[in-house]
Amino acid sequence: MPEAHALEYVVVRVVPRPEREEFINAGVILFCRTLRFLDCRISLDEA
């Protein structure tokens, strides 16, 4: 069984119109100190 590692993440949000106080979840940043791993994925649908 693979060894478990603690991961931290942050959701990346976009605020296209601040006056409306709405946001869109646009991606995630993932970090693991023990594996020295840092990556992000961003995805925006322009439709």
Query: Any bridge partners for residue 3, and if so which?
Result: none
Rounded Cα distance between 41 and 19, Å, is: 27
Provide the pLDDT for residue 47: 64
Residue 9 binned pLDDT confidence (cut-offs 50, 70, 90) = very high
15 assigned to some structural domain: yes
3 assigned to some structural domain: no
Q: How far is CA 13 from CA 1, 4, 17, 37, 39, in A?
A: 35, 28, 12, 21, 16
Q: In this structure, what token pair is assigned to residue 36? A: 């020295």
Q: pTM of the entire structure? A: 0.76
Average pLDDT over residues 18-30: 94
Strands in 37-42's sheet, in edge-to-edge order, are: 8-14, 24-32, 37-42
Total domains, the chain: 1
12 assigned to some structural domain: yes
Domain that holds residue 27: 8-42
Provide the pLDDT for residue 2: 84
